[in-house]
Amino acid sequence: MDIYEAIYLRRTVRVFQTKKIEMETLKKILNAGLQAPTNDHMRYWDFIILQDQASKINLIGSVGQNRTSENALDLVDAWGLVDTYQREMYLEAISKQYQMLLNSGCLIIPCFRQKHSLLKPENLSSLNGLASIWCCIENILLAAAAEGIYGVTRIPSGEDSLHLKNVLKIPSDYEVPCYLALGYPEEEVRKLQQHPINIEDRMHFDKW
Ligand SMILES: Cc1cc2nc3c(=O)[nH]c(=O)nc-3n(C[C@H](O)[C@H](O)[C@H](O)COP(=O)(O)O)c2cc1C
């Protein structure tokens, strides 16, 4: 598939079929992740893969369970969101947080080595590890799209991070950037429209 086709096909999907992702396909997608640029050339990236419901339930705990479609509108108003596309996106997403992780074809927990505290960076370079793993994650999402597989990322909260590290026995010098839920999308899945942006409005020549 042409790279531009994969880029335009990739969209966030939160409702999946029960169909599993074949191991060879998963390896191919994750290997595409490993081709991403990296700050230190070493790609200390590991992927913990959860496929069965019991391990996913154990890992996810109560993530996102407190938010329902009934209180979504109140939340979106409370957050002061006014952009139509942005509101639509949150209204669609809010109630699906738990199910999207649980019902994914596979739930991936990417890990990256981070020697110093991520939350107390000395300078921008201190965040290189985080920046690099997100390049890897985008490669994974694009390669997945080329295979007809889509997904969604969710950032763990402080407590969720600790839970993830404990349950999965992640080494202390590794961090988890996100939950990465992948799967074959439900037939009728809604792909929301992105907020339209004219690239020429965002291009600045010589100065802002
Ligand atoms: C850093 C990051 C964090 C995100 N966190 C969440 C999240 O917590 N829950 C969720 O449903 N989607 C999450 N998303 C997915 C976005 O909601 C999604 O990319 C956005 O709605 C735009 O949709 P699109 O990917 O189809 O263009 C996240 C995406 C990124 C890049």
Distance 207 CA to ligand 1 centre (A): 30
Which pLDDT band, with edges at 50, 70 and 90, does 70 fall under? confident
The verdict on residue 208 lying in a domain is no
Which pLDDT band, with edges at 50, 70 and 90, does 66 fall under? confident
Distance CA 128, CA 122 (A): 12
For the chain, helix (H) and strand (E) counts, in that order, are 8, 5
Distance CA 99, CA 26 (A): 21
- Each residue's pLDDT tens digit, 73-105: 999 999 999 999 999 999 999 999 999 999 999
Which pLDDT band, with edges at 50, 70 and 90, does 64 fall under? confident
The verdict on residue 205 lying in a domain is no
Look up the pTM and report it: 0.96
The count of domains in the chain is: 1
Q: Which of 140, 138, 142, 134 is nearest to 112 (CA)?
A: 134
pLDDT at residue 68 in the model: 83
Distance CA 42, CA 47 (A): 15
Best residue among 11, 155, 194, 197 to mutate for probing ligand 1, ranked by most atoms within 8 Å of CB: 155
Q: How many CB atoms lie within 10 A of CB 47?
A: 17
The verdict on residue 95 lying in a domain is yes
Ligand 1 atom closest to Cα of residue 93: 11
Q: How far apart are the first and last CA of the chain?
A: 36
List the single range of 68-72, 115-119, 140-144, 152-156 with lowest mean pLDDT: 68-72
The verdict on residue 22 lying in a domain is yes
Tokens matching residue 4: 């531009």
Distance 206 CA to ligand 1 centre (A): 32
Task: Look up the CATH number of the domain holding residue 72.
Answer: 3.40.109.10
Q: Which residue owns the Cα nearest ligand 1 atom 5?
A: 154
Q: Which residue owns the Cα nearest ligand 1 atom 9?
A: 154
User: Which structural domain range is residue 120 located in?
Assistant: 3-191
| More confident: 63 or 26 | 26
Secondary structure class of 197 (helix, strand, coil) = coil
Best residue among 153, 176, 180 to mutate for probing ligand 1, ranked by most atoms within 8 Å of CB: 153
- Tell me: pLDDT of 190 over 80: no
The verdict on residue 135 lying in a domain is yes
The verdict on residue 183 lying in a domain is yes
List residues bridging with 151 in a β-sheet.
Answer: 12, 182
